[in-house]
Amino acid sequence: METYSILKDLAIIFIFAKVAGLLARKVKAPMVVGEIIAGLVIGPCVLGLVKPTDFISQMAEIGVILIMFSAGLETNLQELKKSGLAACMIACVGVLVPLVGGSLLYMVIYGFAEFGSDEFFKAVFIGSIMTATSVGITVEVLKEMGKLKSRVGQTILSAAIIDDVIGIIVLTFVLGFKDPDSNTLLVMGKVFLFLVLSLIIGFIIYKAFKFYDDRHAHTRRIPIIAITLCFIMAYIAEKYFGIADITGAYIAGIILCNVRDAEYIDRRVSINGYMFFAPVFFVGIGLKTDFSSVDSSMIIFSIGFVLVAMLSKVIGCGLISRCFKYSWMDCLKIGAGMMTRGEVALIITNKGLGLGIIDSSYFTAVILLIIVSSIVTPIILKLLFSKSGDEAEVPVETTAKQN
């Protein structure tokens, strides 16, 4: 692709994203909803002004990495400790219920299969697609409302991160039956090793960064070094340990969340993300949607797929939250916050396509799930938080503009 074509695509993305985002705010909806709809409008689904490209996908990936790094910087470790057990249990049940629900959905529509057969593993794989939560959109909405540092916000964030790790382990087990190169114990060992190394190396990096930050506070070098750490952690997580890069970025943010200039770093990262990378990420979701190859049977499956995937998270995560003395309203918030699916679901689907477990037609259902959950989740969260009457913190977007 020629450079001028990339510039044209970016110009269209930014114009439509900004206009749609402002219109969304006018109707009391989060800006991310408008940006996703903008992607639908300018993408192959409607106008066809911009086509999905590797460049846009890579820019979108940087966007979600920066969002997760910012979320890590804003993490309240004390609140995270309080919600640690709750978040772990919420994540476990939030994986189990969609896994079972998705498997049963496939069997109900296409017929029950014998245990161990190809159709049985296909059904389980459909369930595994539903397991991972995409926290990027939820984080952006919570930040916009000033609720990310609340108990519910930290619980959602913690549970979603744990959810991804568990989802990867589940996927490893499923693929282990189809891919001779997939070693279940090896991958589980890599996940465990990454977490242990993150704890040890993270402590060393924190001490070194704190020492430097105390002597060079509020200099331009501080956010540059911090972002470099973010990208290194994201790269190492996915390249060497098979863990989603966003998990590495989030851990990098946690490492630095207690340094003196954490808020200063977050402000600089948020400005760059808000202006450039984040719109590409949210618009990119809409760009990937194409309904031209959908037939009637796939429409029925896709509708069921979306409903089961979203409701199973609300039911599983919401009900288990009640066991940890959350109010029913907070249980609904947690369940709704865990509904979104995104890049991890796409990664899992691509794995299945590559190994011949499913065919390309199922990709439509996954895209539909990502679009619907990405649009519905912010709206539901905003309604639930507005009804609860909680006092809002200062939204990060406002803070970024003021600086």
- pLDDT given at position 291: 66
Task: Give the domain 3-402 fold.
Answer: Na+/H+ antiporter like fold (1.20.1530)
What is the distance between the alpha carbons of residues 52 and 313, in angstroms, rounded to a whole number? 29
What is the distance between the alpha carbons of residues 262 and 74, in angstroms, rounded to a whole number? 8
- pLDDT given at position 394: 41
Whole-model pTM: value is: 0.70
Q: Which long-range contacts (CB under 8 A, 24 or more apart) does 306-311 make?
A: 306/365, 306/368, 306/369, 306/372, 306/373, 308/98, 308/101, 308/102, 308/105, 308/130, 309/98, 309/101, 309/102, 309/130, 309/339, 309/341, 309/369, 309/373, 310/339, 310/369, 310/372, 310/373, 310/376, 311/101
Nearest partner of 109 among 294, 360, 295, 300, judged by Cα: 300
CA distances from 173 to 121, 130, 167, 179, 351 (A): 11, 15, 10, 10, 13
Q: pLDDT of the chain along its 403 residues, tens only?
A: 567 788 899 999 999 999 998 898 787 666 777 888 898 899 888 888 998 888 888 888 888 888 888 878 877 676 666 667 888 898 899 899 999 999 999 888 888 877 767 788 888 888 988 887 877 777 777 887 788 778 888 888 888 877 766 776 677 667 665 655 556 677 778 878 888 999 999 999 999 998 888 888 888 889 999 999 999 999 998 888 877 787 888 889 989 988 888 888 988 888 877 778 888 888 887 787 666 666 677 788 889 999 999 999 999 998 998 888 888 998 999 998 888 887 667 667 777 776 677 776 777 788 788 888 888 888 888 888 887 655 444 444 444 444 3
